[in-house]
Structure 1
Amino acid sequence: MNNDFLSDFGDMSSGLGDSDSKDNQKLQKISGGELEKFAKSVLGELVNDNVPPIPENYKIYFEKHLDDKTMTFKKRILEMMEFENTQDNKQIFIENKVKKSFNSLNHLLQDIAMVYKNTEVIREVLEKKAAELSINSGNLNMLNVIESLQNDMKRYTSLLEKYSMHIKENFEYVNHTYKSIEEQSDFDPVYSIYNFKFLSKILTRCAEGYAKYNYQNSLLLFRVKKSVLDSVSPKDQVILLKNISKILQKNVVKGDIVACYKDGIFAVLLQHTNIQKAQSVAQTLIDNIYNTNFFMSSNEVNIDIQVALTLVKDDTSVDKTLEKVAKALDSSGKDKDPFSVVE
């Protein structure tokens, strides 16, 4: 790779200070001029790392370096960023709404089916009672009443069957549309984080970035030890894993990705982060998990987390990389090394 491909960018201080004076005043009003200095330093860091300063890379570096700033500065900038971009949150919100609406529609169809079934039961009871009365009684008035009820029930069930068919056809269309949305979704419905499909797509892109530009992206896998999960009920297992995913989301830099891998294993992708820095991040995340008290059904859970990490390269497929890192989880834990590093 040519290490001089960014040499044409010249002096970092020459081109960024020529903005309109009114815009400069606005920046200074927001952060006392610190935002402009920070923006320059981020661009400088990109050049120093020989990473092309395209918008996507700049965004990742900006968010990573923002974590090193003061809480006041970070809060003000994050507020600006949230105001400008809430696309992922909107997408998760919309997808969850669609899924809840589909579940409600599914329940409605089940209720309609139950109404139809009970109507059939009532019709059969009326026929049975009519037969009994015709044998045991000569009460014509009573027989006429029951016969009238039977005719009304037949008309009612005929209409119900007709509308049920229409409802079923429309539901099948909605179901087809829902499955199409679900197939295109990038988010996991249980944990509200990225799903495996999205993780696989991003890891493939990271491997290509390593091959073309030597981009350093690190992958971390987190798993709650099986003995810990076995000590709680299936319902509490889901709650425990949700809590773990929330801790990971809360404590990674905004540009990094938290996703589901499989079997309760969570993945954290640290973009533009070498393996040395990734080990430091892994230890911080592990500490955050161990510093949290987990209570399931009023009992405290003695958490044991297994972690493995690797640099995303192009020498193996994404699936094989994930399998290799997942296998390395067995070598880590509370009574072993805090994390395993896969070369």
Structure 2
Amino acid sequence: MEDDFLAGFGANFGSSSERETQKIQKISGGEFDKFSKSVLEALVKDNVPPIPTNYRIYFEKMLDSQTMTFKKRITEMMELDSKQEGKQVVIEKKVKKSFSALNILLQDMAMIYKNTEVIKEMIAKRMSELSINSGNLALNATLGAMQIDIDRYLALLSRYTYDIKEKFEEVSHTYKSIEEQSDFDPIFEIYNKKFLLHTLELCKEGYEKYNYQNTIVLFKIKDSVLSKLADTKDKNILLKNIAKIISKNIGKGDILAHYQDGIFVLLLQHCNIQNARKIIEGLIERIYNTNFFISSVEVDMNLEVVMSLIKDDLSIDKLLDKMIKMLNTTGKDSQNFAVLD
């Protein structure tokens, strides 16, 4: 009886342990092990050091070629890791939104103060008119008392406005510090120029030391398309739509950033020119097959696209400058993209 009692406990513990073991095996065994090894083999074959950053980039790129079922399982596991970056973007957006609200509040306070000053001047003017045109001492006394009350109110308002302005300047200083450290573009919700240039410098160093193959691609909507949109807001909506399409159709290890003046830069990490050509051809085709409507008017999309391998023979600034100068040689009516050798 005692043995049966203890055996019951043993059976329960055993079944729990077995369930946990099964979970681990489900994640780490069979297909997953083979895929992990194939990623490592690809790194070795390409002579790329299998450090965590490189392994992750290769892992994510090679995952695209797997079955939908396998991709779904791995993506679910990876989502926990990717939430932190998304959380950072959300926090930055909320901080910027709060700062904008504070800025509006300060402007409203200044307007209240200004309008109260106007009311004070109006009362003084009416008192002067009454003293000349009538002998209504009671009304003059009432207006005089009102003016004294307004003076008191203005004194309090001035003090509180000063305090708010002082605190706002502190918040403004903190906001500027956050903005300087931010890696994200507030308009297009992708990486910003600062982060991009820093990453490109690392890619150049990677080519110099390890012959890493990283391809950079510039995208720009033709001026002839944007010029048909008179409103800046509409132009930004169109640019944002392009950024969204590119973001949704690139590997997780790749980076999209806004460089300047509506020019987007796509960094295809550990991707040579040959593979980049295939990726960009498919991406351009997807963009041209998309219908764009701005203010109920369909936009005939036309893109300028230039790509280049990141080497160590040019500075990043000069490389980008050369690529930008080549942009106008491309488009729907000429060549879909150009390659800077």
- What TM bracket, shorter-length normalisation? over 0.9
Q: How many residues are paired up?
A: 323
Please give the alpha-carbon distance, in whole angstroms, between the structure 2 residues aligned to 1:159 and 1:44.
73
1:145-294 alignment runs, 5 A limit: 145-233=142-230, 234-294=232-292
Instruction: Look up the match of 1:60.
Output: 57
Instruction: Look up the match of 2:334.
Output: 336
Please give the alpha-carbon distance, in whole angstroms, between the structure 2 residues aligned to 1:38 and 1:27.
16
Q: In structure 1, the residue corresponding to 2:260 is in which secondary structure?
A: coil
1:31, CA displacement in angstroms? 7.9
Instruction: Look up the match of 2:3.
Output: none
Please give the alpha-carbon distance, in whole angstroms, between the structure 2 residues aligned to 1:22 and 1:222.
51
Amino acid at match of 2:214: N
Please give the alpha-carbon distance, in whole angstroms, between the structure 1 residues aligned to 2:27 and 2:206.
35
Kept in 2: contact 1:216–1:274 (CA 8 A): yes
Structure 2: unaligned runs, 5 residues or longer: 1-17
Please give the alpha-carbon distance, in whole angstroms, between the structure 1 residues aligned to 2:313 and 2:20.
47
Instruction: Look up the match of 1:117.
Output: 114
1:128-139 alignment runs, 5 A limit: 128-139=125-136
1:29, CA displacement in angstroms? 2.3
1:236, CA displacement in angstroms? 1.4
Please give the alpha-carbon distance, in whole angstroms, between the structure 1 residues aligned to 2:280 and 2:149.
71
**TM-superposition CA deviations, 1:102-124 (whole Å, max 9, x none):** 00000111111111011101101
Kept in 2: contact 1:218–1:269 (CA 8 A): yes
Instruction: Look up the match of 1:315.
Output: 313
**TM-superposition CA deviations, 1:113-145 (whole Å, max 9, x none):** 111011101101110011111111111110110
Amino acid at match of 1:103: S
Please give the alpha-carbon distance, in whole angstroms, between the structure 1 residues aligned to 2:235 and 2:225.
9
Kept in 2: contact 1:51–1:215 (CA 8 A): yes
Q: In structure 2, the residue corresponding to 1:53 is in which secondary structure?
A: coil
1:75, CA displacement in angstroms? 1.9
Scaled by the length of structure 1, the TM-score of the pair is 0.91
Instruction: Look up the match of 2:31.
Output: 34
Compared CA separation, residues 23 and 341, structure 1 to 2 (3 A): farther
Kept in 2: contact 1:194–1:257 (CA 8 A): yes
Scaled by the length of structure 2, the TM-score of the pair is 0.92
1:11-26 alignment runs, 5 A limit: 25-26=22-23
Identity of aligned residues (%): 59
Please give the alpha-carbon distance, in whole angstroms, between the structure 2 residues aligned to 1:54 and 1:209.
13
1:84, CA displacement in angstroms? 2.7
**TM-superposition CA deviations, 1:180-218 (whole Å, max 9, x none):** 110111000000000010000000000000000000000
Q: In structure 1, the residue corresponding to 2:59 is in which secondary structure?
A: helix
**TM-superposition CA deviations, 1:45-101 (whole Å, max 9, x none):** 111111110000001000110111112211221111112332221111010000000
Kept in 2: contact 1:31–1:73 (CA 8 A): no
Instruction: Look up the match of 2:123.
Output: 126
Please give the alpha-carbon distance, in whole angstroms, between the structure 1 residues aligned to 2:255 and 2:178.
22
Greater displacement, 288-297 / 250-259: 288-297
Amino acid at match of 1:273: C
1:26, CA displacement in angstroms? 2.9
**Structure 1 runs (4+) greater than 2 angstroms displaced:** 21-33
Kept in 2: contact 1:42–1:65 (CA 8 A): yes
Q: 1:69 aligns with which of 66, 69, 79?
A: 66
Structure 1: unaligned runs, 5 residues or longer: 1-20
Q: In structure 1, the residue corresponding to 2:217 is in which secondary structure?
A: strand
Please give the alpha-carbon distance, in whole angstroms, between the structure 2 residues aligned to 1:272 and 1:281.
13
RMSD (Å), alpha carbons: 1.5
Amino acid at match of 2:83: T
Kept in 2: contact 1:223–1:264 (CA 8 A): yes
Instruction: Look up the match of 2:95.
Output: 98
Instruction: Look up the match of 2:76.
Output: 79
Kept in 2: contact 1:305–1:334 (CA 8 A): yes
Instruction: Look up the match of 1:13.
Output: none
Greater displacement, 87-96 / 148-157: 87-96
1:161, CA displacement in angstroms? 0.4
Instruction: Look up the match of 2:12.
Output: none
